[in-house]
Chains A and B, each alone.
Chain A
Amino acid sequence: MYDGGKVVFGLALFVALCTSPLWLSVARGGGGAEAPPLQMPAPAAGKCVRDGEWMRNSHMELLNSWRDEVVREGKRSEQLADGRVIEKSLTKTCLGCHTDKTQFCDRCHDYVGVKPFCFDCHVETAGG
């Protein structure tokens, strides 16, 4: 093999360059950008409509099924496991507790890079 050393060096340099963002981030000691602090509802508002952990993962699916149940089947309310009866409404219910959409929904969505279009129509504050 001619110039084996140069080829191996070149390859090593190439790999190092390609993966440099990773190493730089490790060198800075970060595990990626800091998750933004979310503004949680006051405890007096009551618990979320599902377990908090479950909501973090699956709130979009819950909203989709609420949407279809309300608009297509006319089932507008539901009883939660703890007995509360709630209206299946994005603005009235979700934003009734999570009153500051920008400091809660938007903060997390901006961080993870999703842009739900729901608020093209749905109003952003339950109070108007």
Chain B
Amino acid sequence: MESGRREFLKTAAGAAALGLGAGAASFVGAEALARSRAGQAAAGGGKRYALAVDTKKCAEREGCRACIDACHVTHNVPRIENREEEIKWVWKEEAEWVFQDRVHEYSGAELRRRPVLVLCNHCDNPPCVRVCPTQATFKSADGPVMMDPHRCIGCRYCVVGCPYGARSFNWKDPRPYIEHVDPAYPPRARGVVEKCTMCSERLAHGLLPACVEACAREGAGALLFGDMNDPESEIRKRVESSLSLRRKEHLGTRPQVYYTL
């Protein structure tokens, strides 16, 4: 499908090239969500939505895909098998890869091989936002790093800028790869980047992110969502009282996905 927008971008790119050449819940229920909202409103401060992953509880359910499937069905994420063209919002990687800077020669096999849930880290200091030339990706007031597909020109700077590989580019029309299209959430089109949005559309309706809800429904309870700016929130207390990891801490991106091993 050749749209006016693509045509315009191609022309613009051509013109630019010419110019260059010439010039040189289980834990936090909806009620806790409401409480944290009220608390923040009273304090007048913003929220800092975050996710905590209990990797041990998660790994106990071998092969479980409840959260991944829930997310991908909710957001019409296409299932493309080819690794080079696949689209993913949330998926699993081995701990050895996820925490490259934390494993060493004595780390045990169970730990190294443990599948760990990974997704956009919704960094407080997001490199993707800094490199996006159109502000298609931006930091929302409540913390989540958002994608505005309407402004995405498909330059993929953000894909390269993200240190976590959390962004996917639509190399082709995703529609044929979506089993059942849910009209409530627009699928994307060829030429735009997409990723986890922390379910902004669900949060707006007082619902938990789809992955967290699915994990709780499954009885695994490995995912905890909440507001880090609320000192009374369960997630804040958990992170304060246990040794948690954030991916590639040394980069200074300040991820808002916390892991306990």
Interface hits, A69-106 → B, CB 8 Å: 71-72, 74, 76, 90-92
Is residue A60 contacting chain B, with contact meaning CB distance below 8 A? no
Given B3, B146, B181, which contacts A123 in the complex, CB threshold below 8 Å? B181
Question: With A117-B4, A120-B3, A120-B189 known to touch, is A71 a contact of B183 (CB < 8 Å)?
Answer: no
Task: Determine whether the beta carbon of A76 is less than 8 Å from that of B183.
Answer: no
Question: With A92-B183, A123-B181, A123-B183 known to touch, is A115 a contact of B150 (CB < 8 Å)?
Answer: no
B252 to chain A, nearest CB (A): 26
**In the complex, A74 Cα to B202 Cα: how many Å?**
11
Task: Determine whether the beta carbon of B3 is less than 8 Å from that of A91.
Answer: no
Residues of the A chain whose Cβ atoms lie less than 8 Å from the Cβ of B150: 67, 71
With both beta carbons as reference points, the residue of chain A lying nearest to B205 in the complex is identified as A76
Task: Determine whether the beta carbon of A91 is less than 8 Å from that of B183.
Answer: yes
Q: 0/1 per residue, A111-128, Cβ < 8 Å to B?
A: 000010100111101111
Residues of the B chain whose Cβ atoms lie less than 8 Å from the Cβ of A126: 183
A82 to chain B, nearest CB (A): 23
Q: How many residues of B contact A (CB 8 A)?
A: 26
Interface hits, B146-179 → A, CB 8 Å: 146, 148-150
Task: Determine whether the beta carbon of B201 is less than 8 Å from that of A76.
Answer: yes
Residues of the A chain whose Cβ atoms lie less than 8 Å from the Cβ of B6: 117
**In the complex, A72 Cα to B149 Cα: how many Å?**
11
Task: Determine whether the beta carbon of B182 is less than 8 Å from that of A121.
Answer: no
Residues of the B chain whose Cβ atoms lie less than 8 Å from the Cβ of A128: 180-183
Is residue B186 contacting chain A, with contact meaning CB distance below 8 A? yes
Given B138, B149, B205, which contacts A121 in the complex, CB threshold below 8 Å? B149
Interface hits, B128-150 → A, CB 8 Å: 138, 140-142, 146, 148-150
Task: Determine whether the beta carbon of A121 is less than 8 Å from that of B204.
Answer: no
Task: Name, among B141, B180, B204, B205, the residue most crowded by chain A CB atoms within 10 Å (CB to CB).
Answer: B204
**In the complex, A76 Cα to B204 Cα: how many Å?**
7
B198 to chain A, nearest CB (A): 11
Residues of the A chain whose Cβ atoms lie less than 8 Å from the Cβ of B200: 74
Q: Give 20 A-B pairs besides A67-B150, A71-B148, A117-B3 with Cβ atoms closer than 8 angstroms.
A: A71-B150, A72-B138, A72-B146, A72-B148, A74-B204, A76-B205, A91-B186, A92-B183, A115-B4, A117-B5, A120-B189, A121-B186, A121-B187, A123-B181, A123-B183, A126-B183, A127-B183, A128-B181, A128-B182, A128-B183
List A residues at the B interface (Cβ < 8 Å). Answer: 67, 71-72, 74, 76, 90-92, 115, 117, 120-123, 125-128
